[in-house]
Amino acid sequence: MGSKMLFDLYVNSSTHDVREHFVRIFPKGQVLTAYDLDIFRQKYHQLYVSETQRDLYLASLSSNTNLTETKKTEVIKESAIKYLSTLFDAKKQFTTELLHDTISGCRESIESMVHVIKGKDISDVQKLIGDLSFHDFYTYDHSINVAMYSMALFQAAKGNASKAEIVTAGLGGLLHDLGKLKISTQIINNPDKLSDKDFLIIKNHPRLGKELFEKNKLAMSGIDLGTIERIIFEHHENFNGTGYPNQLEGENIHLMARVTAIADFFDAITTKRSYHEVLSTEDALAIMANSASKKIDPVLFTMFTTRVKNLVLNGKNHFCVKDDFDPCQPHRVLPVEKIPPSKQEHNLFEKENKFGSVKADGDVAKKKAA
- Taking the C-alpha atoms of residue 172 and residue 176, their distance in angstroms, rounded to an integer, is 6
**Domain boundary residue among 48, 69, 86?**
48
Regarding whether 68 and 41 lie in a shared domain, the answer is: no
Regarding whether 30 and 5 lie in a shared domain, the answer is: yes
Of residues 44 and 358, the one with the higher pLDDT is: 44
Regarding whether 217 and 78 lie in a shared domain, the answer is: yes
State phi, psi for 219 to the nearest 5 degrees: -60, 130
- Taking the C-alpha atoms of residue 125 and residue 111, their distance in angstroms, rounded to an integer, is 16
Instruction: Give the relative orientation of helices 138-157 and 96-117 as an angle to the nearest 10 degrees.
Output: 50
List pLDDT tens digits, range 20-73: 788 888 888 888 888 887 888 888 878 777 877 776 776 677 667 777 888 888
Residue 361: the pLDDT is: 41
Q: Could you tell me the pLDDT band of residue 134, with boundaries at 50, 70 and 90?
A: low
Least Cα distance to 307 among 117, 161, 109 occurs for: 117
- Output the DSSP codes for 108-170: HHHHHHHHHHTT--HHHHHHHHHHS---SSHHHHHHHHHHHHHHHHHHHHSTT--HHHHHHHH
CB 47 within 8 A of CB 9: yes
Strands 9-12 and 319-321: unpaired
Q: Could you tell me the pLDDT band of residue 300, with boundaries at 50, 70 and 90?
A: very high
Q: Could you tell me the pLDDT band of residue 89, with boundaries at 50, 70 and 90?
A: confident
Query: Mean pLDDT: which of 88-97, 135-144, 147-156, 353-362 is highest?
Result: 147-156
User: What SS3 state is found at 211?
Assistant: helix
Regarding whether 14 and 104 lie in a shared domain, the answer is: no
Of residues 178 and 279, the one with the higher pLDDT is: 178
Regarding whether 34 and 124 lie in a shared domain, the answer is: no
**Domain boundary residue among 48, 64, 86?**
48
Regarding whether 251 and 233 lie in a shared domain, the answer is: yes
Regarding whether 357 and 240 lie in a shared domain, the answer is: yes
Residue 319: the pLDDT is: 72
Other Cβ atoms closer than 10 A to 365: 17
Regarding whether 167 and 26 lie in a shared domain, the answer is: no
CATH number at 123 reads 1.10.3210.10
Regarding whether 159 and 28 lie in a shared domain, the answer is: no
Residue 259: the pLDDT is: 98
**Domain boundary residue among 33, 48, 63?**
48
According to DSSP, residue 177 is labeled T
CB 201 within 8 A of CB 163: no
Residue 316: the pLDDT is: 59
Q: What is the mean pLDDT of residues 114-138?
A: 82
Regarding whether 87 and 202 lie in a shared domain, the answer is: yes
- Output the DSSP codes for 50-97: -GGGHHHHHHHHHT-TTS-HHHHHHHHHHHHHHHHHHHT-TTSPP-HH
Longest dimension (CA), the chain: 71
Q: Could you tell me the pLDDT band of residue 260, with boundaries at 50, 70 and 90?
A: very high
Other Cβ atoms closer than 10 A to 281: 21
State CA 100 to chain mean position distance.
19
Q: What is the mean pLDDT of residues 168-193?
A: 90
Residue 350: the pLDDT is: 44
Of residues 267 and 347, the one with the higher pLDDT is: 267
Regarding whether 296 and 149 lie in a shared domain, the answer is: yes
List pLDDT tens digits, range 137-171: 667 888 999 999 999 999 999 989 999 999 999 99
Least Cα distance to 327 among 335, 319, 318 occurs for: 335
Q: What is the mean pLDDT of residues 215-236?
A: 93
Residues spanned by the domain of 29: 1-48
Least Cα distance to 151 among 288, 307, 289 occurs for: 307
Regarding whether 222 and 108 lie in a shared domain, the answer is: yes
Q: What is the tally of structural domains in the chain?
A: 2
